[in-house]
Amino acid sequence: MHLSDGILPGPVLVAGFVSAAALARWGVAGLRDDETPRVAVFTGAFFCASLLHFKVPPTSVHLLFHGLLGVVLGRRALLALPIGLGLQATLLGHGGITTLGVNATMFGVAALAASGLYRWLGSGGSVRPFWCGALAAAAAVLISGLLLAAMLWSLGEGFVWVARYALLAHLPVLVIEAVVTGSAVEFLRRAQPALLPGGAA
């Protein structure tokens, strides 16, 4: 779900870096020392998730876990995402260097939506933690997929089929991430509730 180099026009790339920098600045504002290890661990998990590929003929897709970052880290995900995406681009060739800002913005918006949805679903206490996490993760994949498709669609008629396929190819990712994130949230709520919003300290 990463946009590669050489696709987007220069002004869009510049706007992407500006927006990603603004989001990262907000994400790091007021960061406490005790939050740093959590951000580092989940940044590493986000990076490693991209190593898990599975076939969706005629191509393959990989897990994202930006929804999980949004659930656990909240706005701190805006700091973790550009770091993880930068490592993926330089070490694994996923995405691009020039599109790093656009990709970080796209994932950041989706992570924030996941965070907000998780908090809203969990605020009443009537929705099981599994479903709170699952729906938040599904929303993150869907939102970033729609943003990616819209970006590709805007490039012209030649990219319309690519946009459609990119969205359809990530439907299995949506299901897998919903199940994995929901299970992770259910486990954390029992074992380490302090890692989740509203959990006991």
How high is the pLDDT of residue 147? 92
Among candidate residues 75, 159, 162, the one with its CA nearest the CA of residue 111: 75
How high is the pLDDT of residue 167? 83
How high is the pLDDT of residue 200? 47
Does residue 150 sit in helix, strand or coil?
Answer: helix
Average pLDDT of the chain, as a whole number: 89
CATH 3.40.50.970 fits 10-195, yes or no: no
Output the CA torsion sign for 141, 145, 148, 154.
Answer: negative
For residue 182, what are the CA distances in angstroms to 55, 132, 185? 23, 7, 5
pTM of the predicted model, to two decimals? Answer: 0.91
107-144, pLDDT tens digit by residue?
999 999 999 999 999 887 789 999 999 999 999 999 99
Q: Where are the domains of the chain?
A: 10-195
What are the DSSP calls for 47-83, one per residue?
HHHTT-EEEETTEEEE---HHHHHHHHGGGHHHHHHH
How high is the pLDDT of residue 77? 96
CB atoms within 10 A of CB 97: 11
Quick one: what percent of the chain has pLDDT higher than 90? 62
Quick one: what percent of the chain has pLDDT higher than 70? 94
Average pLDDT over residues 88-116: 93
Among candidate residues 26, 54, 91, 78, the one with its CA nearest the CA of residue 177: 54
How high is the pLDDT of residue 188? 93
Q: Among 15-24, 44-53, 132-141, 142-151, where is mean pLDDT lowest?
A: 44-53
Among candidate residues 187, 87, 59, the one with its CA nearest the CA of residue 133: 187
Among candidate residues 2, 24, 49, the one with its CA nearest the CA of residue 112: 24
User: pLDDT category, 58, cuts 50, 70, 90?
Assistant: low
